[in-house]
Amino acid sequence: MSSVPRLVATRVARLAAVLLLVAVVAFALAKISPVDPVNAYLGIDIARVGPEQRALIAARWGLDQPPLAQFTLWVRNLLHGDLGYSMIYNAPVSEVIAARFWTSLPLVGLAWLFSGIFGFALGVVAGANSGSWADRVIRLYAYFLSSAPTFWIAILLLIVFSVELGWAPVCCAGPLGVVPADVTFAERLQHLALPLAALTLLGVAQVALHTRAKIAEILQLDAALYARAQGAGKWDVVLRHGVRNAALPAITILFASLGELFGGSILAEQVFAYPGLGQAAVAAGVRGDVPLLLAITLFLTLFVSVGNMIADMLYHLVDPRIREAEFTAGGAHG
């Protein structure tokens, strides 16, 4: 087998193993949770429902079976494309995830893009001016953001720009009382602004710090010093040599940060009552909606894992030496 198909097969096998492990762990944690799915589903009506009705509800959802039987049935249905039925949204899990994902996609996607652009730009400026006041300000800014909780940043933005200044809506993905189909594009942007700002600020720090370190390192290499001795300006060396080499770790960090970004989106969506996938995950966990919680966990795991695979592929495109080394290794073992 040549190196490329073998590499793809290995990664697919690893992804399948990761998904299976995540499924087992998530199911086990859901079963040992103190939240009773039936009680959470009934809510305030729990006092009106007798033991017989509770048993019927549990039997309808398969909760009366042993945990191993429940997990086996869930995996079998999953392999046939059936993600189960959401108890709290009273709809198939696949429909809930699809609707919530398309709501979260603009938020997470734009935050991912902006954090990469702004983080890389700040890192280049800081690295090119290592030791200057600009470098110290950018590093202080990045250290502060990397240590600040997402929910705290979101609450701070909400208090300042929504409550005090009144520049942005307080919550939701559209005006209250307006059906989603009637929400205009401008209104969607207004409700997206603060959650997007909170997530973008979260993602900037890591990219900026790693890019700054890489640029500063490149400027100390013999090749950069030789170019400076030949009359090249600092920014000429940065743009010609530093940016491409710094892009390599920045791309990897950016794709690897998808998991952290989704984790931040869960908190941001809670603060701003943004009806995305993160808010659905919290609701599923609090109210014991095991099918929805498991499906969201697997979906996010798949999304983040594919992001890491894309990062690795882009890594090969940016640095052809890695691709050549792998082909050489593949030929040696073939």
pLDDT of 332 reads 44
Number of domains in the chain: 1
How far apart are alpha carbons 175 and 87 in whole angstroms?
27
Task: Answer yes or no: is 70 within a domain.
Answer: no
Task: Answer yes or no: is 68 within a domain.
Answer: no
pLDDT in tens, 137-192: 888 888 888 777 778 888 888 888 888 888 888 877 777 777 777 777 887 888 88
Question: In this structure, what DSSP letter does residue 45 have?
Answer: G
- Degrees, nearest 5: CA angle 77-82-83: 100
Assign 149 to helix, strand or coil. Answer: coil
Task: Answer yes or no: is 184 within a domain.
Answer: yes
Domain of 252, in residue numbers: 92-333
Measured in residues, the chain has a length of 334
Task: Answer yes or no: is 59 within a domain.
Answer: no
Task: Answer yes or no: is 191 within a domain.
Answer: yes
Task: Answer yes or no: is 53 within a domain.
Answer: no
pLDDT in tens, 214-238: 888 877 777 777 666 766 666 777 7
Band (44; pLDDT cuts 50, 70, 90):
low
Q: Which residues of 205-235 are buried (b: 16+ CB within 10 A; e: fewer)?
A: bbbbbbbbbbbbebbeeeebeebeeeeeeee
For residue 175, give the CATH number of its domain: 1.10.3720.10
Band (320; pLDDT cuts 50, 70, 90):
low
pLDDT in tens, 247-296: 777 877 787 777 778 778 888 888 888 888 888 888 888 777 888 888 88
| Of 251, 245, 246, residue with least CA distance to 308 | 251
Task: Answer yes or no: is 260 within a domain.
Answer: yes
Task: Answer yes or no: is 128 within a domain.
Answer: yes
